[in-house]
Amino acid sequence: MLGKRRNVIRLGLSMAEQSARKLFYKIGEVCQMTDTQPYVLRFWESEFSQLAPTKSRSGQRLYRRKDVDLVKEIKRLLYEEGYTIAGVRQKLGMPDSQEVLDELFEPPGPMPAPPRREPTPGSPRTQAAPKVTAGLEEILRLMDETDRRLKNRRDLPPK
């Protein structure tokens, strides 16, 4: 990697020419290329569904060339053309954020009932059911007893 960098520097390529050869750009590089701040890019990611950089294993955002071009277009429409965020979304053919939320939180249709399976007589499940029921009833009895004892302690006057 270092050798490649040296070759690029020796060839006298400008920073723009070097970055044109890359497949992915970190958020700082995109900020330099588009003259924006990282918090602005992160906000735009939440507002524009098409702006979705991949993330590296370490969680760093990795933008592709098309993401950088989209950032430039969003910036141009917002700052030069005077569009609102909703207007930019509409201009770029993206769904409105409210529509996306409505789709996301739309109540689902009725859930089909799971098929009812009757236990087979003599199966381990059928044989274990009475033991499990008895164990759960014993736990409930112990809990009720503990609740009564605790209540009685609270009712006693302090010493």
**Res 119: pLDDT:** 67
| Local structure of residue 156 (DSSP, 8 states) | S
Concatenated DSSP letters of 81-136: S---HHHHHHHTTPPPHHHHHHHHTPPP-PPPPPPP-PPPTTSHHHHHHHHHHHHH
**pLDDT, tens digit (0-9, with 9 covering 90-100), for 96-142:** 655 555 555 556 667 777 777 776 777 776 777 788 888 999 999 99
CB 119 within 8 A of CB 126: yes
pTM of the model: 0.50
Which single residue is written with the structure tokens 């990697």?
Answer: 1
Which single residue is written with the structure tokens 């236990």?
Answer: 119
Average pLDDT value for residue range 65-83:
93
Greater pLDDT, 71 or 126? 71
- Distance (Å, rounded) from C-alpha 10 to C-alpha 22? 18
**Res 156: pLDDT:** 64
Residue 54's closest CA among 29, 79, 25, 30? 25
Residue 28's closest CA among 69, 77, 68? 68
pLDDT at 155 over 90: no
- Distance (Å, rounded) from C-alpha 25 to C-alpha 18? 11
Q: What share of the chain is helix, strand, coil (3-state, %, to 5)?
A: 60, 5, 35
Work out the number of other CB atoms within 10 angstroms of the CB of residue 77.
Answer: 18
**Res 137: pLDDT:** 92
